[in-house]
Structure 1
């Protein structure tokens, strides 16, 4: 008795005719079995294997197959899996020679244990333990880096630090002159915004002249330093992390250690010097650009006399605010440089790790700037400055 579970091929599309006779299930394949063609469904094969009595053997007849690719192998492999699940013997000799040999090879090589990706969820206590261990290891790494930087600074004071002076000049230029355009734009806009916010309230009382006081004190005391520090964290800190991370990937840092050079002295120290020297200067420049932004609003929109505006700014901004701003900027220079260099020196050895190091450097630098600002502000309030 013969049963037919077939499909009629159209043109040269793949087709699978299924016949069951004397306990032998025959799959007659024809057409071009390639990815760009619609494959017949496997449901008829499942139905044929599920008939009662079940077939003893499954054979292929593929003399009419005129072309095939990897998807044909995947389809045949799926048929083999269905047959073996039901204990049906399979004969692949009727397939094209290359396909038959590949399927035999796949059947002879067992799947490696643990190769499949598994999704697992750690217990809550285990997750908390991992977080605690990771935090402790991060603290140890940070303290180790701080120790290395301290030793490098001591070597610099003794005149024994080893690094390229020409490289220091390049780093100073990159951290200073090349940062002027973005610092100019951001500081000018911040000054404009502060002046607008102050003018909205002060104009109600006819006290527009005090816009100069608001802008001057805010920019000189803290805003100029904060905005410059954040700009340098996003611009220079990320660049330091990416540069050192790439050197870590290329094993250049390992080469320095092999030749007896201290990577901290050779790579980290000049970058710290460059930022510590340039950030206070950029802060003073940002103060001037912010005051210029307030000057534009006060003179051209509030119609304040230019000389009066500048004179009132000079008289209302104490010199102590200027020094507080310089202290802020110097501390920010150290923090941004250390954040960028620390993330770069602790970078993994892959392109993904370099990107993560650059991102972490920016986040760490900005967070350190905010925390340092809070601490310095509280300290100034305590000593009455």
Structure 2
């Protein structure tokens, strides 16, 4: 590109081929000369030597024309090729909206705090509404008025039960190993390695078995529920259910929640067993404790109330996981990225609820002396 200033105005001549990757298209000198002209002068283009061109030429022409218009110069587009004139006509057919671009401004800390508070209140309200709708659907199911397919319930039990056994087995074994090693470090100082069985069995049955199972299921099943319902929301399948007079809460959420309530205590029991097995592997193989002694200490340390506490916790965790996953799925937007965001939000929400609920129930059990 070359530019020549004449008495008639500014002549812009395009020489050679104009390519998108061309390094010779330096428009800044031309813009500087356009700004130096006085109002009323004429700007025209000499395109006799113009070869190939693409969208970059149109972009640069727009910059030149806008600069000339701002200086109140007369722009002559007659010498441009017809395709270029057509593209420029399309560009200037509808003027650009001044408020079309996003404007970002730095918020003060008080404004940010107010916005976060309003968002928290809105989320809490949405959560209460969802829990209320779920409660009404549950009561309708108790009265026999809820409509969902029983085969769906068995399918969800299969998905969140037997299909989760491999990962639950692996994690529970490793947690039992970790508890045994951590306890052995301190207990071996007093020659009390036999109490490793007490530590592992009580830790798994009352706390770690249910907690680790819940965390696994929140990442595995809770996210899956959010993605499934979110995809149905994107595809307008939930709207179709409402059109057919089917309650989405009863048809989609209730069987998933029932499946987790049924399966979570069983998975908790299985996780307790695998954790005790993992602790036994460490205790018997690395410390001076026989298998019979380990089993005797485990049987004497664990009471029925310990299993019941673990079962109750896991049932509560199952409700929280199902509510978190289904709630985020029902709140999903209408885009593909919203489905991924719903899955991520479901996992985070479920884990936060699980930790808070576990802390509250542990404090209650401590205060009640159980």
TM range (shorter): over 0.9
Distance in 2 separating the partners of 1:315 and 1:241? 43
Other-structure match for 1:19? 4
Other-structure match for 1:351? 336
- The answer on 1:365 being equivalent to 2:363 is no
Question: Any conservation in 1 of the 2:35–2:67 contact (CA below 8 Å)?
Answer: no
Paired residues for 1:191-210 under 5 Å: 191-210=176-195
Question: Any conservation in 2 of the 1:191–1:219 contact (CA below 8 Å)?
Answer: yes
Deviations 1:298-331 (A, max 9, x none): 1111142111111111112222211111111111
How far off its partner does 1:383 sit? 1.5
Q: Detail structure 1 runs of 4+ shifted over 6 Å in the superposition.
A: 52-55
- The answer on 1:61 being equivalent to 2:46 is yes
- The answer on 1:250 being equivalent to 2:214 is no
- The answer on 1:240 being equivalent to 2:232 is no
Q: Which has the higher strand share?
A: 1
Deviations 1:174-203 (A, max 9, x none): 010000011000000000000000111111
- The answer on 1:304 being equivalent to 2:289 is yes
Number of residue pairs matched by the alignment: 370
How far off its partner does 1:361 sit? 1.1
Paired residues for 1:277-292 under 5 Å: 277-292=262-277
How far off its partner does 1:172 sit? 0.3
Other-structure match for 2:73? 88
Distance in 1 separating the partners of 2:3 and 2:293? 98
Distance in 1 separating the partners of 2:38 and 2:99? 38
Deviations 1:132-177 (A, max 9, x none): 4433332332222222222222222223321001111100000100
Paired residues for 1:321-360 under 5 Å: 321-360=306-345
How far off its partner does 1:122 sit? 4.9
Distance in 1 separating the partners of 2:47 and 2:361? 82
Other-structure match for 1:225? 210
**Helix, strand or coil: the match of 2:69?**
helix
Other-structure match for 2:144? 159
- The answer on 1:146 being equivalent to 2:127 is no
The structure with more radius of gyration = 1
**Helix, strand or coil: the match of 2:47?**
strand
Distance in 2 separating the partners of 1:89 and 1:235? 66
Other-structure match for 1:319? 304
For structure 1, the residue ranges without an aligned partner over 5 or more in a row are: 1-15
Distance in 2 separating the partners of 1:328 and 1:202? 29
How far off its partner does 1:334 sit? 1.1
Q: Which of 20, 23, 39 pairs up with 1:35? A: 20
Distance in 2 separating the partners of 1:160 and 1:27? 79
Q: Which of 265, 280, 283 pairs up with 1:295? A: 280
Distance in 1 separating the partners of 2:129 and 2:163? 32
Q: What is the RMSD computed on CA atoms of the aligned residues?
A: 2.0
Say which is worse superposed, 175-184 or 23-32, in terms of deviation.
23-32
Distance in 2 separating the partners of 1:78 and 1:352? 35
Other-structure match for 1:272? 257
Question: Any conservation in 2 of the 1:24–1:55 contact (CA below 8 Å)?
Answer: no
Distance in 1 separating the partners of 2:113 and 2:36? 54
Paired residues for 1:167-186 under 5 Å: 167-186=152-171
Higher RCO (Cα < 8 Å, 6 or more apart): 2
Question: Any conservation in 2 of the 1:49–1:55 contact (CA below 8 Å)?
Answer: no
Question: Any conservation in 2 of the 1:224–1:325 contact (CA below 8 Å)?
Answer: yes
Say which is worse superposed, 347-356 or 119-128, in terms of deviation.
119-128
Question: Any conservation in 1 of the 2:268–2:311 contact (CA below 8 Å)?
Answer: yes
**TM-score, normalised on structure 2?**
0.94
**Helix, strand or coil: the match of 2:15?**
strand
Question: Any conservation in 2 of the 1:172–1:275 contact (CA below 8 Å)?
Answer: yes
